[in-house]
Structure 1
Amino acid sequence: MNELIKQLPRFSIGVGDRFAHQAKSQLAACVQAKSAGIEVVPVWNKSNREHNIIGSDPAQTRKAADAAVKELGWTAPFYLDADHINLTTVERFLAPCDFFTLDVAEMIGKPADPADVKAFVSRHPELVGTVTIPGITEPFHTDEAFVTSIANKFLAAVQDAGRIYRFLVERKGEGNFVPEVSMDETDSPQTPVELLIILAAIADEKIPIQTIAPKFTGRFNKGVDYVGDVPQFAREFREDIAAIAFAVQKYGLPANLKLSVHSGSDKFSIYKSIHDAVTSSGAGVHLKTAGTTWLEEIIGLAEAGGAGLEIAKEVYREAYGHREELCAPYATVIDIDPAKLPTPEAVDGWTSEQFVSALRHDQSNPAYNASLRQLLHVGFKVAAKMGDRYLKALEANEESVARNVTTNLFDRHIRPVFLG
């Protein structure tokens, strides 16, 4: 594949900034990492859906990121991710973005043209029979029917990614952006040999991906900890690293290709597994976080007390009253127990400490409420409707909000994943 111009470094963190007010405090966490001896580059990500809900534009995200980089004197790379774009939504992301997460979720599982599937299987005899991947103890045994079935499930999606990638090359120029392909929105985790088949198809499409997001075992709910078998996740993660390394050698994919962990924010119980795997293998990782920063804004407002606390309570009241509407788009990635949600009337009587204790992701605190946290995670639409009133509250309480944003990203995310 052609030599890449934009190369994503080994370690990167996707940071969401819903209201384009936290770029500086997010970057400050990366500055702290650099001071601690490790480079973790920021990738600001915001989806088309989030822009539409808030009424913002990707150009605003770029402006905020550029201003933060200038103010803090950041000289390492940084990127702006057009998160989950397709050909119908990509246009307004073209100019400001230099990282594109190719969204092919709708095509996963849709059968590809039988002739294309047959040609793929014929082109890759190495995938049929005994497949030995260095770093994985047991070889995999496949047959033509198995490879055909996996190609049937994923080939149409990869071809769709190819169409999006070629459009981006046409409009932005080859090597002027980082491409990611997401395969996590499917029914079951891919085995290493299935991931290898997907990577072979991506190489056939000549997409020089630098990150790939496979499906892992367990639930990756928004803003809360991982739910699942941690040892099994650790094994899958290590084996996926091995499959990627093998594919890089076999198919000429970019040498810096690495795993991307989608909905990676606040998955505290798997961070040690990720750290140990990348440390022992020398691989990289992209940890994608987003709504955790929005929640730290609410925590910062509540912690500040006064008008800030009142705004936080108002957001909760409105989110509680519109929870079905707010939760519907995120139904597959949240688990809220309505019985565990306090009434708005109860929350109205809370002190700053009570509100923060319920929302902050500290599982050692008996007051922590995962259902409340998830509801507020999807409740950013409420703050968006407040408009300038919410933004002015952020500005009036900047010190409290920024401190929480930076502390959360560095202490709870960057430190355990990248520093150990």
Structure 2
Amino acid sequence: MPTLSKFSFGVGDRFAHQAKAQLAAFQRLQRASITVAPVWNKSNREHSFIGSHPDSVRAAAVAAVAALGYEGPWHTDADHIRLETVDRFIPSCDFFTIDVAESIGKPAPKEQVDAFIARHPELIGRQEIAKLSKPLVTTRADVESAAAKYLLATAEAARIYRHICDKKGEANVLAEVSMDETDLPQTPPELLIILAALADEKVRVQTIAPKFTGRFNKGVDYVGDLVAFEREFNDDLAVIAHAVAKYDLPPSLKLSLHSGSDKFSLYPIIQRALKATGAGIHIKTAGTNWLEELVGLSEAGGEGLALVKSFYADALAKIDEFCAPYATVIDIDKAKLPSAATVNGWSGPRLASAIRHIQSNPDFDANVRQLLHVSFKLAAKAGDKYLNLLKANEAIIAKNVGDNLYDRHFAPLFLNEAQAQPTKAASNR
């Protein structure tokens, strides 16, 4: 069975032009003696919006690995796939994020729930789990309720997993099960029940993505209770470690955080937890790489700056259309968005500062950033005009892509204070 590295980080590259710049940031970590496996992820929805194919993600990764002489683990992720969407990902992906959101909450038949409880009487009563914030105390009714809520979802995950393994071979499949698209975070007993059910189904899951407290909006920082998040995160780590030992799950099983990108306020919490427990982590980010392309084009000036300004004007004119698919994961205050005329009068550095996610910069604008983030179809529509500008301004864009990954993500997650010296240019912007 394949094994995912202790630390892995999911990156998006919507237009398949920044894999080399992204990989260079991972190589900088290698030089600090830290291995974090890059996982290039792109969902079926993104492919359909842009008109791309999963093969393009792998081709870009292969080219980057060859160009930089990278020696280390790397993967391509079929992000948020379901049974009806997975087949075209199978030839080019080795990591599969199995999405069972539609099955969560559908009540499992009573006989299925009863059979699960008969297999797992240990789930009823009091359980002491190492490093859990408090002992688990569950009644039969508690287990029945959680099993009824999640058993159909775990069965669907198993059905998708077996389908992939039948096509690709289990030895070539890294599986994540995504349980994060629900209304409420899973409690520790619920997560334990989910993991026990996946073990029953023989799903050799490598990462599990539960729901956490708070809002994980696309491309901006976490909004929520940091104390509650820290408790949930540490409890989930404890439950996973217990389930691995109890249910013969893969020793490499680890927590996956679907961050939506740029949850900077959570990184110190995560780093503390990883150091205290020795656990691994997979962090999946969204396609904010395209925002770094816009930052680079803005700084480049000329045609690049003009195109970014036109994107903003078009996004503003079609704001409802572009925001609708992401309504649950963005918070844009329309009244605070600058007019197209105002943005058209900005210099390149001024527009770059509005988009670049440095909250201490008074010119940073979370509303502008979120709107542009969800308006990436404009670049797809621009076609070769956009892609040619990416090529013409490769150096400045690559610097923004690499500095963003290393300084604002990797350093606070994986490096100690002495190691985490920001890139000079990035620290001044």
TM-score (ref. length: structure 1): 0.98
Tell me the amino acid that sits aligned with residue 169 of structure 1: C
Residue by residue, what CA displacement relative to the aligned partner does 1:373-406 show, whole Å, maximum 9, x if unpaired?
A: 1111101011111111110111111111110000
Superposition pairs of residues 3-402 of structure 1, within 5 angstroms:
4=1, 6-402=2-398
Q: Contact 2:50–2:380 at 8 Å: present in 1 too? A: yes
How many angstroms apart in 2 are the aligned matches of 1:389 and 1:115? Answer: 59
Residue by residue, what CA displacement relative to the aligned partner does 1:35-64 show, whole Å, maximum 9, x if unpaired?
A: 122011100000001001110001111110
Q: Secondary structure at the match of 1:84?
A: strand
Q: Contact 2:100–2:156 at 8 Å: present in 1 too? A: yes
TM-score (ref. length: structure 2): 0.96
Unaligned runs of 5+ in 1: none
How many angstroms apart in 2 are the aligned matches of 1:378 and 1:118? Answer: 44
Tell me the amino acid that sits aligned with residue 361 of structure 2: N
Residue by residue, what CA displacement relative to the aligned partner does 1:354-389 show, whole Å, maximum 9, x if unpaired?
A: 101111101101111111111111010111111111
Poorly superposed stretches of 4+, deviation over 2 Å: none
Tell me the amino acid that sits aligned with residue 297 of structure 2: L
- RMSD after superposition: 0.9
Q: Contact 2:133–2:235 at 8 Å: present in 1 too? A: no
Residue by residue, what CA displacement relative to the aligned partner does 1:192-242 show, whole Å, maximum 9, x if unpaired?
A: 121111101111111011101100111000000000111211111111100
How many angstroms apart in 2 are the aligned matches of 1:397 and 1:63? Answer: 21
Residue by residue, what CA displacement relative to the aligned partner does 1:75-112 show, whole Å, maximum 9, x if unpaired?
A: 11100000011111111101000000001011111111
1:123 Cα deviation from its structure 2 partner: 1.1
1:68 Cα deviation from its structure 2 partner: 0.2
Q: Contact 1:264–1:287 at 8 Å: present in 2 too? A: no
Q: Contact 1:296–1:404 at 8 Å: present in 2 too? A: yes
Q: Secondary structure at the match of 2:205?
A: coil
Q: Secondary structure at the match of 2:170?
A: coil
How many angstroms apart in 1 are the aligned matches of 2:318 and 2:296? Answer: 23
How many angstroms apart in 1 are the aligned matches of 2:383 and 2:250? Answer: 43
Q: Contact 2:25–2:405 at 8 Å: present in 1 too? A: yes
How many angstroms apart in 2 are the aligned matches of 1:365 and 1:174? Answer: 48
Query: Which structure carries more relative contact order (alpha carbon 8 Å, separation 6+)?
Result: 1
How many angstroms apart in 1 are the aligned matches of 2:255 and 2:342? Answer: 43
Q: Percent same amino acid among aligned pairs?
A: 60
1:132 Cα deviation from its structure 2 partner: 1.6
How many angstroms apart in 1 are the aligned matches of 2:274 and 2:188? Answer: 17
Q: Secondary structure at the match of 1:175?
A: helix
1:290 Cα deviation from its structure 2 partner: 2.3
From 397, 403, 406, give the equivalent of 1:407.
403
Q: Contact 1:326–1:379 at 8 Å: present in 2 too? A: yes
Unaligned runs of 5+ in 2: 417-429
